[in-house]
Amino acid sequence: MPMTAAYWLEHAWLDGAVASGVALDTADGRITAVRPGTPAPPPGATPLRGLTLPGLANAHSHAFHRALRGHVQAERGTFWTWRETMYQVASRLTPDTYRALATAVYAEMALAGITAVGEFHYLHHTPGGAPYADPNAMGEALIAAAADAGVRITLLDTAYLSSGFGAPPEEHQLRFSDGTADAWAERVSALKDTADSAVRVGAAVHSVRAVPADQLATVAAWARDRAAPLHVHLSEQPAENEACLAAHGRTPTRLLADHGVLGARTTAVHATHLTDEDIALLGGSATGTCMCPTTERDLADGIGPAAALQRAGSPLSLGSDSHAVIDLLEEARAMELDERLRTRTRGNWTAAALLRAATADGHAALGRPDAGRLEAGALADFTTIALDTVRTAGPPPRLAAETAVFAASAADVRHTVVGGRHVVRDGAHALVPDVPRALRDAVAALHD
C-alpha cells in the first residue's frame, strides 16, 4: 500500500504569493495534489497553522564545525587561528562520534525547517591518514546521521590533496587526503544514491589550494560522468587569490574555468573576493553561488558580490557552513542586509527572491531540481513558520513571506515534513527526543 498523508495549510507560499486555505495531499514521498481555496481542514487532514514554505535547503555544511560554536568566539583571532581550532576538533572524530554529532546537528537543522543538507565532507580517513576498514566509514556515518535525523543529504565528498598549491598535507590534513584525485575517485565511487532521493552523492574540490591544478579535471570529470553536483570553496580569503596568482598567474576562478570545473551543476561557495572577470566567468557558465553570510561575517571574510553574481547569471543558494548559527531565514535576510550595508541601497532582493535562494535554487544546487516547490510531483518536503510569536505577530497574512524572511527565526518553525512524514511537529523533533542534550553530549565528547 502506498504511504499517504493529507495536510491543510492555513497559509502557503504558492507560485511566489501567499495563498490561504490550501489542501495538500502526499503519497510515497511526493506531493500529489495542491488545492487552494479550501477554507477548513478536510476530514483526515493534519492542519498546519502559520505560513508553510517549501523545505529549506542548507547548501553548505561542515557538520563537525558545530562543535566550535562558542569556543572560537572566546578570543579575537583570525581565520587562520580559527582553522587551527577546527583542526584540533577534526582530529578527535571517529565514525561513531561523528555520527552522534552529525545526528544532533541535522536534527537542529530539521528544527530550523531545513529538509535537505549539502555536507561538504573531507574527514575521510584515520587521523594519521590510514584508511578505515571501510574506506567510506566517515561518509557512511554522515549518511546514517541524516537518516537518524530525518533529513535528506547530498554528500559532497571532497577532494583535499594538498596543504597549498602542491605542498604535501600538513599533520592535521593527513586524514583529509586520498593522495591523488584518481584515488579519491576510486573511493567515492563506492558511495551510491538512493532511489527515494534521501541520499545524493556529489563531489567537491576543497579549494584551488587543496587540489593541484593538474588534478582538477579528474574531479570535474567524475561529477560530469554521473550528472552529480560539484561544489568548490572559492576565493574565501584574499590570501588564496594572492597565492593562486603567484603559483599560476591567474585567479582561482580562471584556474577552475581553464580546467573544466565551472558549469551549471557546479556551485562556488563564498566567492567573496572576485574580479569583474571572475563574476563574468561564473555567471556566463551558469555556475551557482552559495552564500554563507553568518559564517562569512563570523570569520570576518567580507561581503561577497552576490547581487552582481546573480545579475551575471549565477543562481544563488544559502548555507550555514560553520554553524555559528543554524538558521536559513537569518542567512536569507543577512544576504540582503549585508548588501544594504555595502551599497547603502535597500531592496536588492525581494522576500520572494530570498525564499527562492533558500528553497528551489538551494535544492537544485544539491542535485534535487524536483524539490523546493509546493506543487504536484515535487518532493513532499515543507516547513511551517508560526505567525503568532513575538517576532511574527502583527502583519497581515498577505505579508507573511516578508514577515518570515525579515523577522522570523529558526525558533519560529513549528513543523517540518520530509517525504510526507512529520519530522518536527509543534516544535518537537519526532526522531531525536532531546536535541539540546544530544548536541551537548556530542560536543562535550570532542573537547578536553
Catalytic residues: 270, 321
Q: Could you tell me if 41 and 47 are in contact, meaning their C-beta atoms sit under 8 angstroms apart?
A: yes
Kindly tell me the sign of the dihedral angle through the C-alpha atoms of 324, 327, 330, 331: positive
Q: Could you tell me if 8 and 22 are in contact, meaning their C-beta atoms sit under 8 angstroms apart?
A: yes
Phi/psi at 397 (nearest 5 deg)?
-55, -30
Segment (H or E) for 261? none
d(CA 404, CA 402): 5
d(CA 92, CA 369): 36
Among 293, 205, 305, smallest CA distance to 257 is for 205
d(CA 340, CA 276): 20
Number of CB atoms found within 10 A of residue 235's CB: 25
Kindly tell me the sign of the dihedral angle through the C-alpha atoms of 281, 287, 293, 296: negative
Q: How would DSSP label each residue in 359-413?
A: THHHHHHTT-TT-SS-STTSB--EEEE-SSSTTT-SS-GGGHHHHHHHT--GGGE
Q: Assign residue 255 a region (left: φ > 0; alpha: ψ between -120 and 50; beta: otherwise).
A: alpha
Q: Could you tell me if 59 and 316 are in contact, meaning their C-beta atoms sit under 8 angstroms apart?
A: no
Q: Could you tell me if 290 and 279 are in contact, meaning their C-beta atoms sit under 8 angstroms apart?
A: no
- Bridge partners (DSSP) listed for residue 248: none
